[in-house]
Structure 1
């Protein structure tokens, strides 16, 4: 599932190329998770101003309104001067005078939603419960610690929920907790300020490294150039069950938390 690094890598791979483009038409394929919310013909002639990211949503700002795009479980965006005829898993082609932005989504959990503004009901509903952005200045050790103090759930589950800090997906939560030395089943409200400070630094370090590596391509993620990511080649614990920890040589363990696999070192990570 594309997480914050993959979405940010996608944004970086086409944002500059599409900025300033004039929309010619929007073609939709099979229905996605949510309806577009307007007649596609209304977008013709509008100009793309910029592409932003909020959590795992891409916000394509136009001179009038914006499109909110979500990659779902298996989606990817491709921006190219020309594209082949749409296949069975291609569900959106945004034709512009600079190229075509195509959404490829085999499982159709992605979405393309129009809103008149970021404060419009359609956008507000999708964005209102998102936590602080982990790579921005508003994310501080104190903010993280305060958010954790209010939650009794396991720390890994709180990170995945996205309402304390947004975008720390399954791979990155396991890796950040390892680097911070925190056991994933530890209750969030038991994490002290010093440990939250280490976790804060680990989250920023891991996410920044993932963006620099092009994200993680566990299955079929590619950026808007069609290039895969390589962060999965550098993980310390994720998908390393039974392998010796690189720090202490203890076998890495795997547990299930909320239907997701969690990987950790029982020696390096303390409750």
Structure 2
């Protein structure tokens, strides 16, 4: 599933259409995670794109209303030329004066919908990991009395958004923290180190264009490259790139959790 870096990469890739007007909307398949609004085309036809931002893993295209897009498991949002010929699973096409914005989703787990206000829709999500608000003090306070493994807590969208399985495994490795360590047991210094590593891992992933896992594509329909820099994720049994100890795959809440038993011994 695309996580924060992948979504941010897409948001950055479609910035050129800010200021454009949506002239028409073609709906080829009316049901994704839930049925598309029947007035999706009529509401957005003629709408001027004011801004494109990200909140958690949602793409927010602001017009006179907010167009919210979630990529689900396999969705991709790409810019295409006007002579583009639609392919299978191109479910929604937004027509602009000189481009097409195409939403393609083979598994149809994504979401495309418009809202007059996104505040209530996204109110239950936690803070952004790349914001100043996500700091050691915040994490230390949030982990207070929480016995859940630190890896699970970081993946909880109520704590902090968008840090998926790949990125939390990598961040915990660089912070030298064992994934199943009870969250409340982290020291203030460990919280500081983990926050720093999460920000660094996410920043690096954004710079590299996201991951190459599964079906992810950038807005220009190219694959990401962050997988080339993974230290632990997906490397079970392979030697640690820092100490050569074999990487272990630990199951936490049913999710594969990769770590080095030597570098992350605390």
- Do the structures match in fold with TM over 0.5? yes
TM-aligned CA deviation for residue 217 of structure 1 = 1.1
Please give the per-residue CA displacement for 1:72-109, whole angstroms capped at 9, x wherever unaligned: 01111111222534333111111111311111111111
1:235 match? 230
Partner of 2:175: 180
Cα offset, 1:58, TM superposition: 0.5
Distance 1:188 1:38 in 2: 45
How many residues get paired? 264
Compute the TM-score of the two structures, normalised by the length of structure 1: 0.93
1:261 to 251, 256, 261: 256
Report if aligned partners of 2:24, 2:94 keep a CA contact under 8 Å in 1: yes
1:94 match: 94
Show the 5 A alignment for 1:78-89.
Answer: 78-82=78-82, 84-89=84-89
Stretches (4+) displaced over 3 A: 35-38
TM-score under structure 2 length normalisation:
0.95
| Secondary structure of residue in 1 paired with 2:102 | strand
Q: What's the CA shift string for 1:208-267, capped at 9, x where partnerless?
A: 000000100112211111121111111110111111112221100002222321100011
Task: Give, in whole Å, the separation in 1 of the partners of 2:111 and 2:22.
Answer: 19
What secondary structure sits across from 2:14 in the alignment? Answer: helix
CA contact (8 A) 2:32 2:110 kept: yes
Partners of 1:132 and 1:255 lie apart in 2 by: 27
1:98-247 aligned at under 5 Å gives the runs: 98-119=98-119, 124-125=120-121, 127-247=122-242
Secondary structure of 2:93's partner?
strand
8 Å contact 1:158–1:164 — kept in the other structure? yes
Q: 1:214 to 1:152 in 2, by over 3 A?
A: same
Distance 2:44 2:191 in 1: 45
- CA shift for structure 1 position 56: 0.4
- Structure 1 counterpart SS, 2:50: strand
Give how far 1:34 is off: 2.7
For residue 142 of structure 1, give the secondary structure of its aligned residue in structure 2. Answer: helix
1:6 alignment partner in structure 2: 6
Contact 1:2 1:71 in 2 (8 A): yes
Cα distance, 1:188 vs structure 2: 1.1
Alpha-carbon contact 2:82-2:98 (below 8 Å) kept: no
Separation in 2, partners of 1:151, 1:240: 29
- Tell me, what secondary structure is at the counterpart of 2:23? strand
Q: Would you say the 8 A contact 1:144–1:165 is kept in 2?
A: no
The Cα shift of 1:35 comes to 3.4
**In the alignment, is residue 58 of structure 1 matched against residue 53 of structure 2?**
no
- Indicate which of 230, 243, 250 corresponds to 1:248: 243
Distance verdict in 2 for CA 1:259–1:89, change over 3 Å: farther
Structure 2: tracts of 5 or more residues without a match: none
